[in-house]
């Protein structure tokens, strides 16, 4: 195949490109410039897409003997990922920018251009596997459960899966990838993995949002509506947060309180006991299927609400207005804006953005 290898400058994408070359494919490397003013150097494992990353990707491509290009996707990244991130926080939701980047950039914008240029597939260093199922191509978890990235790929459609290539999916562990990179002479063999939000490399999400969204004082209330504190911007709070609340009125039982809800229209933050974070039902209108859609409107599955959380057995129901999921055991600390990915065994069935939640603990409990 003619393969376009997305090379971030990290060890995973470099080894993925190397395996594509070794498999006999016609490979071209590309690094995505996602910022018009990218930083020069990384700070440990924080951030990505710096000039240093681009140079690391180029060195890997040179060693592999493949053509290499840098494509400017900064405008598309700003519109589809950064602006979406800001808008979601303004609306009181908690977005996942990595999901949005996979959906809109790596497997939409990049894949579209690759197909236009005559490539058969885009190769990445994600840890996930593709399986030929009875109804077509299926997305499954990686062999290494510790590195499995199928959750953040849950936004991919059947058409996109048909043009993807994940050479690392069956690798037993990340240590094997690093050892292989070392053996191949790749300079990124021991490079730290990227963490946090790539466009907020210092990790100060609250400060970054304050600059973009601004500050506006508002009330912090308990579940009964009683005012227990004040804040300078509801966007700075996320469901499940405990620290930094600075409440002026202690709870009757003396126990810590957690953020239960953010109400952007009234600029109000609702807090309550930890047990009130338990969620009995989630629902969302924006959904997609990673392959064939479910045959029945109601079906058993597992639901996962964060990249590294444990999947929970559940009953899912699909209707005209979206997807509703009732887990067998309450989910913990779910926030609107998060992505719920549905699994059947190791297979990724699809995903939806959570719009609404139902607490497992009544307000008067």
49 is catalytic: no
Q: What is the C-alpha separation between 152 and 137, in angstroms, rounded?
A: 18
The whole-number pLDDT of residue 93 equals: 87
Residue 61 Cα distances to 9, 64, 208, 283, angstroms: 10, 5, 34, 44
Residue 263 φ/ψ, nearest 5 degrees: -115, 95
Catalytic residue among 48, 49, 101, 301: 101
48 is catalytic: no
Q: Which residue has the tokens 């600059």?
A: 211
The low-confidence residues of the chain, meaning pLDDT below 70, are 36-49, 195-196, 364-365
Strands 356-359 and 278-284: antiparallel
Q: What is the C-alpha separation between 306 and 287, in angstroms, rounded?
A: 16
The whole-number pLDDT of residue 47 equals: 52
Q: What is the C-alpha separation between 258 and 223, in angstroms, rounded?
A: 11
The whole-number pLDDT of residue 126 equals: 95
Residue 148: strand, helix, or coil: coil
Q: Which residues contact 136 (CB under 8 A, 6 or more apart)?
A: 158, 291, 292
Q: Which residue has the tokens 């998060």?
A: 338
Of 242, 349, 240, nearest to 296 (Cα)? 349
The whole-number pLDDT of residue 45 equals: 47
Helical ranges in 65-204 per DSSP H: 74-77, 83-90, 97-101, 110-116, 158-161, 174-184
Q: What is the C-alpha separation between 361 and 299, in angstroms, rounded?
A: 25
Q: Is the dihedral of CA 43, 169, 112, 21 positive or negative?
A: positive
The model's pTM is: 0.91
Give, as one character, the DSSP assignment of residue 276: G
Catalytic residue among 48, 123, 198, 301: 198
The whole-number pLDDT of residue 364 equals: 64
Residue 221: strand, helix, or coil: strand
Q: What is the C-alpha separation between 59 and 18, in angstroms, rounded?
A: 12
């Amino acid at each position: 195949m003619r393969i376009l290898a997305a090379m971030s400058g990290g060890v995973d994408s470099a080894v993925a490109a190397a395996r594509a070359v070794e498999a006999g494919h016609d490979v071209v490397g590309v690094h995505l410039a996602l910022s018009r003013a990218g930083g020069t150097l990384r700070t440990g494992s924080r951030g990505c897409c710096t000039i240093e990353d681009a140079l690391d990707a180029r060195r890997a491509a040179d060693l592999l003997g493949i053509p290499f290009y840098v494509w400017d996707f900064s405008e598309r990244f700003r519109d589809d990922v950064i602006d979406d991130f800001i808008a979601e926080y303004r609306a009181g939701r908690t977005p996942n920018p990595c999901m949005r980047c996979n959906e809109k950039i790596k497997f939409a914008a990049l894949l579209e251009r690759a197909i236009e240029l005559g490539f058969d597939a885009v190769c990445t260093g994600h840890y996930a596997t593709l399986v030929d199922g009875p109804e077509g191509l299926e997305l499954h978890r990686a062999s290494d459960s510790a590195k499995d990235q199928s959750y953040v790929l849950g936004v991919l459609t059947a058409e996109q899966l048909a043009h993807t290539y994940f050479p690392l999916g069956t690798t037993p562990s990340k240590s094997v990838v690093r050892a292989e990179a070392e053996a191949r002479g790749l300079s990124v063999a021991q490079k730290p993995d990227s963490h946090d939000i790539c466009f907020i490399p210092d990790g100060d999400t609250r400060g970054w949002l304050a600059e973009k969204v601004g500050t506006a004082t508002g009330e912090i209330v308990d579940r009964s509506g009683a005012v227990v504190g004040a804040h300078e911007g509801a966007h700075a709070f996320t469901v499940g947060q405990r620290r930094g609340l600075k409440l002026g009125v202690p709870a009757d039982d003396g126990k810590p309180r957690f953020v239960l809800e953010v109400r952007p229209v009234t600029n109000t933050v609702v807090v309550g006991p930890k047990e009130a974070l338990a969620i009995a039902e989630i629902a969302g209108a924006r959904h997609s299927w990673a392959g064939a859609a479910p045959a029945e409107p109601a079906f058993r599955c597992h639901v996962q609400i964060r990249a590294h959380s444990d999947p929970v057995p559940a009953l899912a129901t699909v209707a005209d207005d979206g997807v509703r999921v009732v887990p067998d055991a309450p989910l913990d600390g779910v926030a609107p804006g998060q992505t719920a990915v549905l699994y059947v065994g190791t297979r990724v069935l699809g995903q939806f953005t959570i719009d609404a939640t139902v607490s497992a603990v009544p307000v008067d409990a």
